[in-house]
Chain A
Amino acid sequence: MIWVGFEKFGQSAYISQTKVTPLISYLEKGVIVGTRCKKCGKMYFPPRADCVDCRTSEVEWVPIEGRARLITFTEVYFGPPAFEQSTPYVLGLAEFDNGLRVFAPISRNLDREQLKMDLELVLKPRHSGEGVFYQLEKPD
């Protein structure tokens, strides 16, 4: 397999080749980014290399910041092989104020008993060995 950067995404990546590989460098620098269409201004997160509305590839990288409210979550007890040692872990879906949604793990520092709908969280870039990812955490 040719490794060209994106294999660093997440705890166990399946994809190595994509036009949005620069996300990895941003995450390594501690910044979470999406893309924005230069023509119509539509925001994409996770980032897309192409605007589906304008059919243009003229997109720019923009920071994704702010709080996200928890929509739903689950605690996984039976995981894929690469995650067997990590169970149980929590996965969540959250929505930013601008309506963009993120699917991400929820930090182990957050007590599962505290998790509820609409809980305010922040998305933080984190390292995992050689890789980088983002996760939902409690705001500071």
Chain B
Amino acid sequence: MARVAIVGVGQSKFGKRNDASLRELAFEAYSSALDDAEIESSVIDGSVVCSATHYDKQRSPAGVVAEYLGLNPKPTFNVEAACASSAVGLRIAWSLVSSGLHDVMAVVGVQKMTELASKEIQELMGRAGDVMWESPFGTTMPAYYAMYATAHMARYGTSEEDLAKVTVKNRKYGAKNPKAMFQKPVSVEEVLKSRPVATPLKLFDCCANADGAAVLLVANAQKAKKITDSPVWIAGLGLASSPMALAGRRGPMTSFEVTKNAARSAYEMARVKPSEIDVAEVHDSFSITELLNYEDLGFAKPGKGAKLLKDGDSELGGKIPVNIDGGLISKGHPVGATGASQIASLVQQLRKEAGDVQVDGAKLGLAQNIGGIGMYAAVTILRA
């Protein structure tokens, strides 16, 4: 299989960015990715623009983004897989580069969410599930994940305090990330006291809508070695799908089959085991999601996600540090940018540039990104 590397990464500040438009956010991330790779834009021969376009005022945003980045007349197009858009964008770029059709591509994850009125956001949230069979009953994004939480708590004795500890851990690391939306730690008590959203999930169990962009520059082996002394190789790519309707899914609703399937493909492609992963970024759209991900990715046995956290194994210095850039819970969740942001954090880890949160000797990193209410999951394994 052709070797493909990430040669540059960049990220804008995430959060309520009422100072910047979609295209300007994309430019911030793109420009810093070019600086990071120490290359000029002329080296890039195509862009993959990743966003959940239903949030954008601009229809078909790849048009304005490629224009604003100065990437015309090179190929560009949009990739949409809800919250997993830019992880899927990386998969597309990998294919285009390894096929030889392109040499160096920009994967541009971007989203502008806070410009929408809260009514518009609520309306969109109401259509997150199957609009024919489930949305007519008043579903929301948190409600779906809450149903997994209820089932996991009933089956394994996971508690609301266990969930709160996910937020506490991630906010602790978010306080060290200048790009994060929330840079202030919270206590278990504050999480437990926050208002209910969909039981058992409370406000602080949920990530926040945000504006932001993250860019990955992807190159074939020959170009990668010319551009940088420290390419980060794409070792495994897994992507899977699951029924969108909750009623179409099987099992006790205590795990995401879609993550397990994506993880299996990624581990096989990279020829590694979960125990070999040095650092991970997983989709903590909600506190419960992170615990399920520990189990679905093979970091913990079924039902033991909360124990992994309590034992300190997912902390910096633990067996498998997870979301030590703060995760979605601290960074905010600019849907289209999230996957690329996770991968950008891993690239910094594997290049030993993660500063205060550097994992000693990190060689293998894993990012997991769930799309929407779990109809897509992408798992990406990177090697230094």
Report A's interface with B, CB cutoff 8 A. Answer: 6, 9-15, 18, 45-46, 71-83, 86, 88-89, 91, 93, 101-105, 116-117, 133
Contacts and interface: CB of A to CB of B under 8 A. Distances in A.
Interface residues of B, number: 40
A91 B136 contact: no
Given A14-B132, A14-B136, A46-B247, A74 B252 contact: no
Interface string B138-150: 1110110011111
Contacts of A88: 196
Interface of B: 119, 122-123, 125-127, 131-140, 142-143, 146-151, 154-155, 195-201, 245-249, 252-253
B196 A91 contact: no
Given A74-B143, A74-B150, A77-B198, 4 more contacts: A12-B135, A73-B150, A79-B138, A93-B246
A89 B367 CA distance: 35
B129 to A, nearest CB: 8
A102 B247 contact: yes
B133 to A, nearest CB: 5
A14 B131 contact: yes
Contacts of B126: 12, 79-83
Nearest to B245: A103
B151 A15 contact: no
**For chain A, what secondary structure do more than half of its interface residues adopt (helix, strand, loop), or is it mixed?**
mixed
B195 A93 contact: no
Given A13-B136, A86-B138, A80 B125 contact: yes
B198 A72 contact: no
A78 B154 contact: no
Given A81-B119, A86-B138, A72 B127 contact: no
B265 to A, nearest CB: 23
A117 B151 contact: yes
A103 B133 contact: yes
B155 A80 contact: no
A9 B150 contact: no
A117 B154 contact: yes
A133 B136 contact: yes
A101 B125 CA distance: 23
A86 B147 CA distance: 19
B131 to A, nearest CB: 4
30 contacts: A10-B137, A13-B136, A14-B132, A15-B132, A18-B132, A46-B133, A46-B245, A72-B148, A72-B154, A72-B253, A74-B199, A74-B200, A76-B138, A77-B198, A77-B199, A78-B142, A78-B198, A79-B122, A79-B138, A80-B123, A80-B127, A83-B126, A89-B138, A91-B137, A91-B143, A93-B246, A103-B134, A103-B245, A103-B246, A133-B136
Contact of B137 (A72, A75, A101, A105): A105
- Interface-centre pick from A93, A103, A116 (highest chain B CB count, 10 A): A103
A12 B195 CA distance: 25
A137 to B, nearest CB: 14
What 4 A-B pairs have minimum CB-CB distances, sorted nearest first?
A10-B136, A80-B126, A83-B138, A74-B146
Contacts of B197: 77-78
Nearest to A15: B132
Contacts of B245: 46, 103
Contacts of A9: 136
A86 B247 CA distance: 23
Contacts of A93: 147, 246-247, 253
Contacts of B125: 80
Given A14-B127, A82-B126, A93-B147, A133 B132 contact: no
